[in-house]
Chains A and B, each alone.
Chain A
Amino acid sequence: MTTPLLSRSGAPAVKSGSRRRRLSRREAVLAYATAVPAVVVMAVLLWVPVVSTVAHSFTKWDGITSTWTGLGNYASAFAGGQLLQLFQTNLVFLASIPGIFLICIITSVVLWERVPGWRFFRSVYYLPTVLSSAVVGILAKVLFSPQGAVNALLGQVGLSGLETDWFGHTGTAWAVLVGAFYWQTLGQGVLIFLAGLSAIPSEVVEASQIDGAGWWRRLFQVILPLLTPTVGYFLLTNVIFVLVDLFALVYVTTGGGPGGSTTPIDFLVYQKAFQDGDLGSASALAVLLLVITLVFSSLQILILRRVGGD
């Protein structure tokens, strides 16, 4: 039997253990000290507002005084199908994601295959991404206003019959909004997919080419399955975007109109809070939006795991 309490040098083992403990304590202190600023920032900027929002969602609150109303704000949000109606706006954007996904993936593969001018196009596609949603929205608004460049161009090329009040009709207002969303997202999507494509071994693609797979078959049966994690990231970030981050684009482009038909939930949160001064109702809508986003994101992650993404 050894003497576990003695070290090899004869010094008591307990001393070495205590040094280790002191070291690990010091490391722990350092770790906590390093984490504290981030935790404090997160707490102040994220968790305190979240908790406060949840608490105020059960009150009538004007920013100064609040009175308990229970589930009243939630009942109002569902009354008359208001929430469902607003959610339809988010759903239209959701439904537009496969379109931009396809455009991004095709553009990325074409650039990846180094078509003539690929360097130029890579920069051009990325340019709108550096613009904020507000800037993209203002550009769209200026271009598609009744006296804007698009109507003027249509008139000049003899298509004056197609001139319209783009923001005055729900269908055309949607077309402009989705177009602006696509334009802004294309660069980001292409960048993400090019990064993903660079990790695909070229031998795999070349082998499929030798085996006689055409361009589309290679895209859907070779490249896309290998890009599953990238696809997952692209879809997840864009689904979250169309659920909680449409405000800037909609605010400056259509203002939620015509007739509130392009108003997403986050836009109504703003209207309730800062135009109507009904911060309690706005808080309830924000909480519902958080729940909706959590559900959608969780479902997506589940599905991606099933199909093999990380």
Chain B
Amino acid sequence: MGIALSACSGPQGAGSAGGGKLTGPITFWTGYPTTDSNDKSKTPQQFWIYQAAQRFTKKTGVQVKIEQLPGDATMFTKIRTAAIGGGGPDVANVWSGSYALGIKSFLEPMGQYFNSNDMSQLSGWAAVSDGFDPRKKDTLFGVPDGTDGAQVLMFDKRVLAKAGVDPSTWPTTYDAWVAQLDKIKASGITPLSLGQNALPFILFDTWLAQVVGGSAGIFALSTGKRKFSDPAILDVAKKVVALRPYALPGAASTTDDQAFQQLLAGKAAMALGGAGGTFELQQRFKGNGGLAKLPNVAANGIQGGTVGGAGVAFIVLKNSKHKESAVAFIKHLLSASEQRRFAASKDPGPLVGRTDAKDYYTDPLINQLQQWSTDAANTFWPDNTFPADLVNELGAQMQLLWNGSISPSQFLARLDAKRDSLKP
């Protein structure tokens, strides 16, 4: 789909944002929603991203053509293929971390467009920095777009209450949590609905980050300084597999969206997710939705957090003929006024990631999620820091581990073998 937003006023190219003359039109490939599967009557113009682009056009005279990006890793396939052919969008929002950095040869460095004041208004710069060090401005290949918040357990409080589980006294240890899963199962409902990405990249990765001690340990695993075949990580793999009797069948080949829909349909008591599904959770459960952190498998949880980053980032392609306009558009979308409108729209997407975002949301559940996302103990997308090949292998081998085709120690040995085989 591609719809050009016409300028409401001002000639094309005559606008200005920040003093320089802006040219256009620009093409924006986005993951922001432009359709609603539950309400087919909704037009693209009813979504925040279209309205925000219209306001940009009105302000600058630069038209914005919006096209939808796939919601999975094929977004990079689409961008890479277009960029090799000399085309592609001017600006896009994509997964951050090693995913976005994997196409850095096609990306315009962003450090030159953002001064320290601009940067201080946004969190998550590490995840768009090559080497995950945002102090080096020449290594910035994107702009953090909000935050995916924390990856948490989502549930319907009424279902848990029926099972005699009180979400206000949520267990913080694995064993206590499993005892609760037993109670839920005994009440006649399957405790967990898990998806093929949640298994490796939320469940396993969260606990992996905990037992290796956060960022430093994750980097050591990425570079081969530390082995996956480690007693503590083996214990994590065993703990993941031990959850199989508590989950709906087929988790390893169920998409995460399907898994979430199973929760909404009342087929399971809990699912894993983040910011993306929270609004729908509240809407469907009529305010009875609840969130809880995953239990800890390490004594003190995680220390110092992990460099997972924002989850989503804006990028500008080197091929773009309108880079200034593309950057102006990013700044427009991330401005306080637009982010307030985005928060009010309740459109799915990342949560507001501005450092001043304290009162953007009225829903206590969203505020809770946002608070957890800034928590130093928040474990966030460790896969964002792994090389792409290793991420693929982790996802692939998790399928076999979950279905019992390989043992936990074989699973870890295969991760080591893949990591060791990667070219430096």
Contact status A169-B403, CB under 8 Å: yes
Supposing A258-B396, A277-B102 touch, asked if A63 and B250 sit within 8 A by C-beta, the answer is no
B83/A80 in contact, CB under 8 A: no
> Is the CB of B81 closer than 8 A to any CB of chain A?
yes
A179: interface (CB < 8 Å) = no
A-B contact sample (5 more), CB < 8 A, given A258-B252, A271-B392, A279-B84: A165-B250, A167-B253, A259-B399, A259-B406, A260-B396
* B77 interfacial contact with A, CB 8 Å: yes
Report which of A145, A146, A170, A276 forms a contact with B389, defined as CB distance below 8 A: A276
A256 to B196, CA, bound (A): 14
The yes or no answer to B413 lying at the interface (CB within 8 A) is no
A115 on the interface (CB 8 Å rule)? no
Closest Cβ of chain B to A160, distance in Å, is: 11
Cross-chain contact of A274 among B80, B248, B405 (Cβ < 8 A): B80
Bound complex: CA A62 to CA B252 (Å): 32
A64 touches B105 (CB 8 A): yes
By the criterion CB–CB under 8 Å, are B253 and A80 in contact? Answer: no
Q: How far is the CA of A62 from the CA of B103 in the complex (A)?
A: 9
CB contact list, A236-288 vs B, under 8 A? 256-261, 271, 274-277, 279
Interface pair B81/A258, CB less than 8 Å apart: no
| B403 & A258 in contact (Cβ 8 Å cutoff) | yes
* Residue B216 lies at the interface, judged by CB distance under 8 Å to chain A: no
370-424 of chain B: CB within 8 A of chain A = 388-389, 392-393, 396-397, 399-400, 402-403, 405-406, 417, 421, 423
Give the docked Cα–Cα distance between A257 and B254 (Å): 12
Complex: how many Å from CA A172 to CA B77? 29
Q: What CA separation (Å) do A274 and B74 show in the bound complex?
A: 9
Q: Establish whether residues A259 and B73, one from each chain, have CB atoms under 8 Å apart when the complex forms.
A: no
Which of A170, A276, A277 has the most chain B CB atoms closer than 10 A to its own CB?
A: A277
Q: Is the interface of B mostly helix, strand, loop or mixed?
A: helix
Cβ-based interface call for B87 (8 A): no
Q: Is there contact, CB below 8 Å, between A165 and B83?
A: no
Cα–Cα distance between A258 and B253 once the two chains are bound (Å): 8
Is A165 within 8 A of B84, CB to CB?
Answer: no
Contacts of B402 in A (CB 8 A): 168
Closest A residue to B418 by CB, please name it: A80
Cβ B250 vs Cβ A169 within 8 A: no
Residues of B within 8 A of A260 (CB): 393, 396
For residue B2, CB closer than 8 A to chain A, the reply is no
Please provide the chain B residues from 81 to 130 with a CB less than 8 Å away from any CB of chain A in the complex: 81, 83-84, 102-103, 105-106
B267 to chain A, nearest CB (A): 8
Chain A residue numbers with a CB within 8 Å of B300 are: none
Tell yes or no: A31 within 8 A of B by CB: no
Q: C-beta contact mask, B242-266 vs A, less than 8 Å → 1, else 0?
A: 0000001111111000100010000
Cβ-closest 6 pairs across A and B: A146-B250, A63-B84, A259-B400, A258-B399, A167-B253, A165-B250
A65 touches B105 (CB 8 A): yes
Contact A63 B80 (CB under 8 A): yes
B84:A168 contact, CB within 8 angstroms: no
Cβ–Cβ contact B80 & A257, under 8 A: no
Chain A residues with CB under 8 Å of B253's CB are 145-146, 165-168, 257-258
Question: Residue A41 at the B interface, CB < 8 A?
Answer: no
Q: How far is the CB of B41 from chain A (nearest CB, A)?
A: 26
Whether A165 pairs with B403 at a CB distance below 8 angstroms is: yes
B258/A147 in contact, CB under 8 A = yes
Question: What A residues does B74 contact at CB under 8 A?
Answer: 275
Q: Which residue of A lies closest to B404 (CB)?
A: A169
> Which residues of B have CB within 8 Å of A157?
none
Chain B contacts for A163, CB-based, 8 A: 249
- Output the least CB separation between B340 and chain A (Å): 37
Cβ of A79 within 8 Å of any chain B Cβ, yes or no, is yes
Given A63-B84, A147-B258, residue A257 in contact with residue B403 (CB < 8 A): no
Within 8 A of B (CB), among A157-192: 163-170
Contact B396 A147 (CB under 8 A): no
Contacts of B417 in A (CB 8 A): 80
Residues of chain A with a CB closer than 8 A to B258's CB: 145, 147
Question: Nearest chain A CB to B402's CB is how many angstroms away?
Answer: 7
Within 8 A of B (CB), among A51-87: 62-65, 76, 79-80
Query: With a CB–CB cut-off of 8 A, which chain B residues contact A167?
Result: 250, 252-253
A197 to B81, CA, bound (A): 46
Q: Can you give 18 A-B contacts (C-beta < 8 A)?
A: A62-B105, A63-B80, A63-B84, A64-B105, A80-B421, A145-B254, A146-B250, A165-B249, A165-B251, A165-B403, A167-B252, A169-B403, A258-B405, A275-B73, A276-B102, A276-B388, A277-B80, A277-B102
